[in-house]
Structures are given as C-alpha cells and as structure tokens.
Amino acid sequence: MPEDYLPILIYFLIAVGFALAGIATSHLLSFLFVRRRAAKDKLIPYESGMLPQGPARRRFHVQFYLVAVLFILFDIEIVFLFPWAVVFRELQILGLIEMGLFILVLFLGLIYVWKKGALEWE
C-alpha cells in the first residue's frame, strides 16, 4: 500500500528542504554580514590546510570500473536471491537446485576473473 511509504516521502521532503535552507541561510548571512576583501588565501581549496598537488580532474584508474562491474553482478544476484529466500521452504529441493545452478554460473565467472588477475590492484 502506498500509504505505508508516506513517511519516506515526508523524510525526503525534509531532507531536501534542510539542504536548501542551509544553502540559502549561508548565502543570506554572507550577503548581509560579510565584508568582501580580496585575499589570496581565500582562493585555495583548503584554507590553512595542505596544498593540493596536481589537477583535481585526474583520470581515475580503470580498476574502479572493474570493481563496479563485479558489484553490479552481485547486486542483481541479491535481487533474485531475495524472493527465492522467501519461498525457500515451499519449493524445497527443486528451488535449491535451481538457485544452486544460478549461483554456480556466476561463481564460475568470478573464479575466471580472479584467475585472470583482474582483481589485483596494480
């Protein structure tokens, strides 16, 4: 029933409102009270902090993408595991065999990728 999810909607609206109100208040306060003076220190990313090295828009390592692909695979596996787990007792051994086959296929893929060395962080 959609009514049960009303708190989530309210929560979402509060979260968005909180974020927007924070930004708006900060802008308003700085508009009202801050005297703007040009200072070189204000322009560095971390004031009074470490100086960042190199450009911020660096190319990420492709290893991140490979991990994300593995993640998507097991994410989908969970989606199929969940309804199976709910009816596990009713389907008994047949359901176990079917799900075993499903997991075996994905597991073979994981082993292959592992053996290929795609999981090693270079």
Minimum CB–partner distance for residue 31 and another protein (Å): 25
108 near another protein, judged by CB under 8 A: yes
Distance between terminal CA atoms of the chain?
49
DSSP-H helix ranges across 1-122: 6-33, 63-86, 88-116
Residue 69 CA, chain-centre distance (Å), reads 13
Q: Which of 34, 43, 51, 86 lies at the binding interface for another protein (CB under 8 A)?
A: 86
**Residue closer to another protein (CB basis): 32 or 86:** 86
If binding is defined by CB under 8 A, does position 11 make contact with another protein? no
Query: Interior CA angle at 42 toward 39 and 45, to 5°?
Result: 150
**Of residues 9 and 29, the one with the C-beta less far from another protein:** 9
78 near another protein, judged by CB under 8 A: yes
